Chain A
């Protein structure tokens, strides 16, 4: 474990950026969901890092991190279910073919 908070923050920043890029650039819905997970984990990493370095936040950070994981799991479930439903309907996992929201 590094002695510096910056290293963790930089790592989580990089992870978040990768997640964002993935969400914006990938066309596959599954990949986009994975990118969301990546971003969530980057945020979780930040929270845990702050908790480890600031004693007052120690317990709070752990609780929040667990909460985020639970929400992320639920979100992934719902997201996957939606993607499955759309896939059955449209026969494609590619999001740029989903244009029913236009106009």
Chain B
């Protein structure tokens, strides 16, 4: 009887052992990757205050160790050590509840590896930078504890292999973000911004949670890879709803329209936080999520179009706001929004690899720009208004040159990182039939180059402002930990594109990520078309480079470069030249009144509705409950009079009762 089973079991056993052999031992390092920052958080949270000035040592060393381990894991994953479709490791059964089993498992594939590069590298450099940046803050032990907590959460987010784990990590990064935005909580605006970020994120998270519930309800599994296979068998509407709900979570975390309002306010946090969480890593979680869920989205092409539309709309909206903001960090925040919009546009048109490419490139150059802005803010004594800067380029040369690299990278000047990724997004959206995305994308590219040069011009070039002149002799370059981080971030901003973006059309990154996205891309676009440098692709490259050059050119003309001064008069003349430009300036300056709209919708109108509900609750709901209580009290008070304490009254009651009973008995018996 068992003999008949043997032939069918044998190949399975063979396959299993083969797979076990194929997965490298390095996978066992992955849990340590999570344990290190968690240990750093726990240690610093408990002992950091006592350690005081050197509280950064343990978190910094642990994060460096995390980076080393991370690079080992990344190398193994990208060189095929984990097999073509990645490898996982199950730690333990997290929720064993009858049929509802959730394993706490970690999973590494090529996509995870790309995210690990960004998260661990920038995380490490930001820790290093913070040693200098936070040197004078009495609460820095708290800061480093939170940073380590964030590192743990973010790594769990990219490593988690079940929807529930990812969701838990999703909330944990939100928590760390909240804690770090509100790090200087005695400042009213910081506390308010932290709350705003948390609440706006919650709106998106509700959608994400519903999406996970729907996945569980319709497939019966929460394992990400298993669920993809089962979702393919569902009907189109359910898939579209799942995709929409998951995208809803991504919109919240990645601050896309209409939930984009929290990110600019999040700049109230310390600058390293802005660099790490609100530019390079956490806000990319939404992009990662959609890319990870690409098998779902590939089955819901209508939702993909929505993703592309929201992405490109956010890109142009945020770019237009960045034109007129004067706070250096706010410009960068809107720029982040805009670049995230690019990534979503890329995801929406089905150019997943381009989106991840831009995610990585943007992580590095935007992290660099933020850290640079922090260095500038330090140099001019905690001043963030660019109108109070100017002429700083010779005073803080390292900051200036590294930020210049970042600016050119984000503008898309070849051969810097941003050129390769941005060009790939634009080219692919054109080739996949989304010409409108391409057209808006090119406009955004011009705008990006322009507002970034405006930032450079107002900060580093032109005449020094009165504020800068008053400080002139005391302005100096930041400490070595900060400048070292800047230089180390400038290197990938310069070379990342060349390292993994070449050769064009058949890049290294494409080879890495091909196994993750292959099926979805085939389903969406059919067979890939060959790359034509002398045909359509060449033309598209020339157009996007021309767009960047145009933006930079206008920027240089208006805001100067190096010795050339800023033409303030000409800028003002331009904005005042007609009613339309005046209106656009006002609209951009007021951020298209989105905060006012939200105020009107949720504070004024929402407040009225809440008032009405409160009234209903108070009078009707509470009224019923209290009414019953009051009725009982009143009845008792009234009936208390019956108890006179006189024996004869009671006896009378007994007598009357007796008479009534006998009388009624007789009446009934007489019938």
A→B interface (CB under 8 Å): 20, 23-25, 27, 32, 95-96, 98-103
Identify B646's interface contact among A20, A23, A25, A95, CB under 8 A.
A95
B578 within 8 A of A: no
Identify A103's interface contact among B640, B647, B655, CB under 8 A.
B640
Tell me whether A103 and B643 are in contact (CB under 8 A): yes
Tell me whether B651 and A23 are in contact (CB under 8 A): yes
Can you give 11 contacting A-B residue pairs, CB < 8 Å? A20-B655, A23-B648, A24-B652, A32-B647, A32-B648, A95-B648, A96-B648, A99-B645, A100-B645, A103-B640, A103-B643
Tell me whether B647 and A95 are in contact (CB under 8 A): yes
What are the 5 closest A-B residue pairs judged by CB atoms, nearest first? A102-B645, A101-B645, A99-B645, A95-B647, A24-B652
Chain B contacts for A23, CB-based, 8 A: 648, 651
Tell me whether B645 and A103 are in contact (CB under 8 A): yes
Q: How far is the CA of A100 from the CA of B645 in the complex (A)?
A: 7
Chain A contacts for B645, CB-based, 8 A: 98-103
Chain A contacts for B652, CB-based, 8 A: 24
Looking at the assembled complex, report how far the CB atom of A17 sits from the nearest CB atom of chain B, in whole angstroms. 10
Q: How far is the CA of A24 from the CA of B652 in the complex (A)?
A: 6
Looking at the assembled complex, report how far the CB atom of A64 sits from the nearest CB atom of chain B, in whole angstroms. 21
Chain B 637-663 residues near chain A, CB threshold 8 A: 640, 643-648, 651-652, 655
Interface size in chain B (residues, C-beta < 8 A): 10
Known A-B contacts A20-B655, A24-B651, A24-B652; A99 and B646 likewise in contact (beta carbons under 8 Å): yes
Chain B contacts for A27, CB-based, 8 A: 648
Tell me whether A96 and B651 are in contact (CB under 8 A): no
Tell me whether B655 and A24 are in contact (CB under 8 A): yes
Chain B contacts for A103, CB-based, 8 A: 640, 643, 645
Residue of A nearest to B658 (CB): A20
Tell me whether B644 and A102 are in contact (CB under 8 A): yes
What 7 new A-B contacts, CB under 8 Å, besides A24-B652, A95-B647, A98-B646?
A20-B655, A24-B651, A32-B648, A98-B645, A99-B644, A102-B643, A102-B644
Tell me whether B648 and A24 are in contact (CB under 8 A): yes
Q: How far is the CA of A103 from the CA of B648 in the complex (A)?
A: 16
Chain A contacts for B643, CB-based, 8 A: 101-103
Residue of B nearest to A98 (CB): B647
Looking at the assembled complex, report how far the CB atom of B126 sits from the nearest CB atom of chain A, in whole angstroms. 74
Known A-B contacts A24-B651, A24-B652; A96 and B646 likewise in contact (beta carbons under 8 Å): yes
Q: How far is the CA of A100 from the CA of B647 in the complex (A)?
A: 11
Chain B contacts for A25, CB-based, 8 A: 648
Looking at the assembled complex, report how far the CB atom of A18 sits from the nearest CB atom of chain B, in whole angstroms. 13
Residue of B nearest to A27 (CB): B648
Residue of A nearest to B655 (CB): A20
Chain A contacts for B647, CB-based, 8 A: 32, 95, 98
Q: How far is the CA of A70 from the CA of B331 in the complex (A)?
A: 107
Residue of A nearest to B647 (CB): A95
Q: How far is the CA of A29 from the CA of B352 in the complex (A)?
A: 102
Looking at the assembled complex, report how far the CB atom of A8 sits from the nearest CB atom of chain B, in whole angstroms. 19
Chain A contacts for B644, CB-based, 8 A: 99, 102
Residue of B nearest to A100 (CB): B645
Residue of A nearest to B650 (CB): A101
